[in-house]
Chain A
Amino acid sequence: MVEIEIDENACVGCGSCVDDCPNDVYEMDEAKNKTKVVNADDCMACLSCHEICPAEAMEHKNIHVAKRLYIDRRVNDILNKII
């Protein structure tokens, strides 16, 4: 079961996730001007919302994380050492 957490301190209320999610998982909370999760059951973990959110405000828990063989581990190892 997917769990979605929104960091309300980070969310800037742009509504991009509401527009972008193909499965209507989010709705705007007009009073707070923040997004809210209304339909987590229909989340298919495509993570398009992560890609569009300018504030990196959401976290998806308990999902399948796709392989990312294109990530250059050697470069990342070097970066980890210096950052």
Chain B
Amino acid sequence: MAYEIKREGKEIFGDFKPELIPNECGGDIDDYEEALHVLMKFVGSMSSALEQVSGRGANAIVYQAGKRMGHEAGKMVEKTDNLEKAMQELSEILGAEFYFDMWKPAGQEGYTIEKGDETVVKLIFRDCVVRQTLRRTGLPQKGPLCYLLYGYTVGAVEEVMDIRGKLDIDHVGPNACLKTLTIKWSGK
């Protein structure tokens, strides 16, 4: 027998069968907004606690977690060794919440630079849920949570292109962050 706590707002009571989930369970947009704020706070405090406990090791742990997710996500799209196509697919994998473009300084001819068996390309992340979460929680950028996105991006690119990848942070800002993606063609 449950003791019902009094609260404002309407809860849903009714019959439940797996194939007959009440429509109202979908919630409305305000519910999503609230849930997002709670989630951002949770993830933010988890990241800062992780950093407190494990120090710099936190970055490596989160990077590995992101990389694993990236590899899994990369399996869902077609493999290619064409960088432009791979970036297009990466943008589909990362989705609208991680909106990025390739970037180059105005004086540089192409978007890629070849260095021996490596290709280097700069990516500008314009929208990023991680950045939003950090700012929501008052945490600095470049911390463990950012490594989740680096790992995710590297994992996805490695999977799609069948190469070894590396992502370095050039600059983080409140409206966009610049990263350098290095692709090592000599493989895994």
Residues of A whose CB lies within 8 Å of any CB of B are 22-23, 39, 41-42, 44-48, 50-51, 63-70, 72-73
Q: Does more than half of chain B's interface fall in helix, strand or loop, or is it mixed?
A: mixed
20 pairs, CB–CB < 8 Å, chain A vs chain B: A22-B170, A23-B105, A39-B106, A46-B173, A46-B174, A46-B177, A47-B174, A48-B171, A63-B175, A66-B127, A66-B128, A66-B131, A66-B176, A67-B97, A69-B129, A69-B132, A70-B37, A70-B40, A70-B133, A70-B135
Known: A22-B170, A66-B127, A70-B40. A42 touches B132 (CB 8 A): no
The distance from the CB of B91 to the nearest CB of chain A, in whole angstroms, is 14
19 additional contacts (CB under 8 A) given A22-B178, A42-B106 = A44-B103, A44-B124, A44-B176, A45-B175, A45-B176, A46-B171, A46-B173, A47-B173, A48-B172, A50-B174, A50-B175, A66-B128, A66-B131, A66-B175, A66-B176, A67-B127, A67-B132, A69-B132, A70-B37
| Among candidates A41, A45, A63, A70, residue contacting B136 with C-beta atoms closer than 8 Å | A70
Residues on B close to A: CB < 8 A?
Answer: 33, 36-37, 40, 97, 99, 103, 105-106, 124, 126-129, 131-133, 135-136, 170-178
CA distance A72 to B135 in the complex (A): 12
